[in-house]
Structure 1
Amino acid sequence: MKYDTNNFQKDVIEQSFITPVLVDFWAEWCAPCRILGPVLERLAEKYKEQWKLVKLNTDLYPDIAAEYGIRGIPNVKLFHNGKVINEFTGALPEHMIEEWLRKSIPSKFSDMIEKAKKLLAEGKIEDAKVILEQVHNGDINNGEVKILLAKILVYENPKEALRLVDSAQLSNDTVELAEAITTMSQLFEKLYNQNELPEDSVKQLYIDAIKDLRDKKFESSLKKFIEVIRENKAYDDEGARKACIAIFKYLGEEHETTLKYRREFSRALYV
């Protein structure tokens, strides 16, 4: 078969530094393998510009199968830059495999995305934005890029940030940040509709907290939102609680501001 290999190092490991390689670990006696094999071959032809398929008969290459911990077949592993980055076992339906591939295949712009992430972490927002916009133009369906762009645009253009979030296919890595961006966009919208907020003694404090958030004064904003929680946790459908969580997710769990205010936030909730 055209997808078989007799040189795993060359056809899989080395090739995976050029394009992702999907390896189908199979055997002739395996009935599910005979079901899955043709499906993978159809998909390999359909997506030949995005990834390569290699089929490895575990009976012929038991050492390789043992090296990669194959205990049940069919087993499918995705290699990128010489390493396994995702896998599944069993004969999945074609539509489920396509969905798995869509989420698993790294973007050809992955190096640029990593560079943009690094720039964001360093606070070089405009430089990161330029790179992310370039990637977005070349890979318009990349959900991670949409969320990273939305993270920037939530301050410049909250409605566009929401549009990007709404159109993005989310992964486990992006869902919390997407929720944070959505919450922040909705909070900023409240600044233009302050008269619609419930009348209460904490109303002005709540508005001031949103203004601080809009100005990226995260510590001041958190202090005020936490005070709102202490005085009236239920205000604006627990808006202050949702805002604090959004800030923590936006900044990241290891950010110094998150670490500083997480405990105070928790105490305020349960006093």
Structure 2
Amino acid sequence: MTDAVIDVTAETFQTQVMESSMQKLVLLDFWATWCQPCKQLIPVLMKLANESNGDFLLAKVDIDQNKELAEHFQVRSVPTVKFIRNGQIVDEFAGLLSESEIKGKLSNHIKRESDELYQQAMEVLQQGDNSAIAKMQEICLNDTDNQKIAIHFASILAQTQQFEQAKLFIDALPEILHNKEEIKSITAQIGIAESAKDLPDPASIMKAIEADPNDLKARHQFSQQLVLQGDVASAMEQLLEIIKRDRKFKDELGRKELLKLFDIVSTQGEQGAKIVSDYRRKLALALN
């Protein structure tokens, strides 16, 4: 063991975990000697703890020797890791995660030098100096373990419709980040933006729909325009109308595009979750 890694018992829990969590993040790792995934996870956690320069403490709990602690934390399977800060659980995971995935979780709870540099660049950008964009990208790419700022920067590029730069930035990120829901949402927005590059002007599209409500190509184009304008719910209505009028139009284009919009909206908090839930129900009705 090192100063960054300790074994915890019920007797030492209060001082070693709860009191330590008032000073730094504590990762409480519930494991068992008979658990093969635990044996794979522990070396990864120990490596990260020893390399963290004291940013967090790894506290290991053998559940067979400390059943009361496992019961208290409602541990149902091992490995289970609880993130403790100021005496409270602030995050957790169960099962085997990769080193990159664990680093991503840690980046949400440990302040890094790149956080401060990124915040400084953000303040410059907010003052109207767009040269800060290049600096923000440089900071993100110099510390790809800080997944929080990478996701935030990609979202800024998408929100300001700098889709080509957003695509290049995402391509430069580690593969593990590509599977993040937020990045998948941004990637979906980029795809829609790229396909909407050569659209007719909105007035022409509306005129085509008014002239022929069954002009499904125009309805699809209108849905793309609505997404770019930020009106995703109205875009979903247009796609539902395509499905109702011709479910098989262009190899079920309406359904496929609607699923892409679900990816975009699903990351937008409770309101986004409600929109997705409502339109999943509408999609099911339209398909039946």
TM value normalised by structure 1:
0.63
Matched, 1:45 2:50: yes
Which amino acid counterpart does residue 287 of structure 2 have in structure 1? L
Task: Specify the alignment match of 1:227 in structure 2.
Answer: 241
Measure the CA separation in 2 of the matches of 1:260 and 1:157: 30
- List aligned pairs for 1:186-205, cutoff 5 A: 186-194=191-199, 201-205=215-219
The one-letter amino acid of 1:14's match is E
Unmatched 5+ residue regions in structure 2? 116-125, 201-213
Aligned length: 238
| Structure 1 residue ranges, 4+ long, deviating more than 6 angstroms after superposition | 31-38, 57-60, 70-73
Partner of 2:286: 268
Instruction: Using the TM superposition, name which of 220-229 and 2-11 deviates more.
Output: 2-11
Residue 105 of structure 1: how far off its partner (Å): 2.2
Contact 2:107/2:146 (<8 A) preserved: no
Residue in 2 that maps onto 1:249: 263
Structure 2: distance between partners of 1:214 and 1:31: 53
Residues 128-154 of structure 1: per-residue CA shift (max 9 Å, x gap): xx9xx6995885433354344434432
Describe the shift of the 1:21–1:260 C-alpha distance in structure 2 as closer, same or farther (beyond 3 A).
closer
The partner residue of 2:190 within 176, 179, 185 is 185
Amino acid at match of 2:242: V
Residues 58/243 of structure 1: CA separation in 2 closer, same or farther (3 Å cut): closer
Instruction: Return the alpha-carbon distance in structure 1 between the equivalents of residues 31 and 185 of structure 2.
Output: 43
Unaligned 5+ residue runs, structure 1?
114-125
- Whether the 8 Å CA contact 2:239–2:255 is kept in 1: the answer is yes
Change (3 A) 1:58 1:216: closer
Give 1:121's aligned residue: none
- 1:225–1:148 Cα change, 3 Å: farther
Give TM-score scaled by structure 2 length: 0.60
Partner of 2:210: none
Cα shift at 1:211: 0.9
Aligned to 2:230, what secondary structure does the other structure show?
Answer: coil
Task: Give the deviation of 1:64 after TM superposition.
Answer: 3.7
Task: Kindly report the root-mean-square deviation, in angstroms, between the aligned alpha carbons of the 2 structures.
Answer: 4.4
Match of 1:141 in 2: 145
Q: Deviations over 1:190-211 (max 9, x none)?
A: 222459xxxx942222112211
User: Residue by residue, what CA displacement relative to the aligned partner does 1:25-59 show, whole Å, maximum 9, x if unpaired?
Assistant: 579xx587997798354543223344212345678
% same residue? 23
Q: Could you say if the C-alpha distance between residues 233 and 87 of structure 1 is closer, same or farther in structure 2, counting changes exceeding 3 Å?
A: closer
Question: 3-state SS of the aligned residue for 2:83?
Answer: strand
CA distance in 2, matches of 1:239, 1:230: 12
Give the superposition deviation at 1:88.
5.1
**CA pair 47-213 structure 1, distance change in 2 beyond 3 A:** same
The AA in structure 2 aligned to 1:77 is V
What is residue 216 of structure 1 aligned with on the other side?
Answer: 230
Alpha-carbon spacing, 1:224–1:153, altered in 2? closer, same or farther (3 Å): same
In structure 2, give the amino acid aligned to 1:98.
E
2:28–2:83 Cα contact (<8 Å) kept:
yes
Relative distance call for 1:17 and 1:236 in structure 2 (3 A) is farther
